[in-house]
Amino acid sequence: MPSDWIKSSCNQCGSQIVIHKEWTNPDTVCGACKLISGKFVDAIEVLLIGNYFVTPDHIKNQLRDLVKSANCIYNKNLRKNVERSAAWRIAELELAKQLWAKKEVRKSVLFAIKVLSKQEKQDEKAKLRSELRAARTVDGTRRWTG
């Protein structure tokens, strides 16, 4: 019986991903690229530095180790005269791949991405409401529109 799994390549980085042949909407990007598009670096920063989440120490330690590793990769590429933005992309992709391989850490980062995304949407709505409110005031007095 032939395998139901098919090897494909990520549309963004070209790494190999495995998809099921019966899936109607298979993934086109690898897990690492999903993390990158989800602003995972911001999530890591919040987990390590911010007081927004209660992050277990063993997760923080693993995240610190991953960030140190990515920093070494970045600096190594800079010493090889790789352009800064390219060196960052290389380090970011390697960090995302290493993070994706660690399930427990990955779960924490994905949760943080989800929370930060919701917060960002709420902040945008609040900003829009403030702009609308400010547009209805002239000389500090409210002008009712309706």
pLDDT digits (tens, 9 = 90+) for 22-56: 888 888 888 888 888 888 888 998 898 877 778 88
Residue 1: what pLDDT? 39
Helices (H), 3-102: 31-37, 40-48, 57-79, 84-101
- For the stretch 113-127, pLDDT in tens is 998 888 888 888 888
Domain-located, residue 141: no
Instruction: Over range 89-101, report the average pLDDT.
Output: 93
Q: Is residue 3 part of a domain?
A: no
Q: What domain range is 115 assigned to?
A: 35-121
Q: What percent of the chain has pLDDT over 90?
A: 38
pTM of the model: 0.74
Residue 131 inside a domain? The answer is no
Number of domains making up the chain = 1
Given pLDDT bands bounded at 50, 70 and 90, which one contains residue 14? confident
